[in-house]
Amino acid sequence: MSDKPRWYKRFWAFMKDARAELRKVTWPSRAEVRNTTIVVIVATVFFGFYLFFMDAVFSWALTKLKDLVG
């Protein structure tokens, strides 16, 4: 048989290493999560309206150009 450990031993070694790495993580505070969530929502709404407006402007401009040319 090979020298490689069984799959379940490798799995538990992986889980142990993953847990050790997660303990090193600096987790954000509740206030940081709230603030960044608000920023993402505001940016999404802003760019949604911006893209809607630009689409409407370009659609209007192309319609006028099409009417002018042909």
pLDDT for res 70? 76
Every domain of the chain and the residues it spans: 7-69
What pLDDT score does 38 carry?
98
Output the pLDDT for position 1.
54
- The span from the CA of 41 to the CA of 6, in Å, is 47
Residue 15, classed as helix, strand or coil, is helix
Q: Give 51's DSSP letter.
A: H
**36: closest CA among 47, 28, 25?**
28
Intervals of the chain under pLDDT 70: 1-2
Report pLDDT for 42.
98
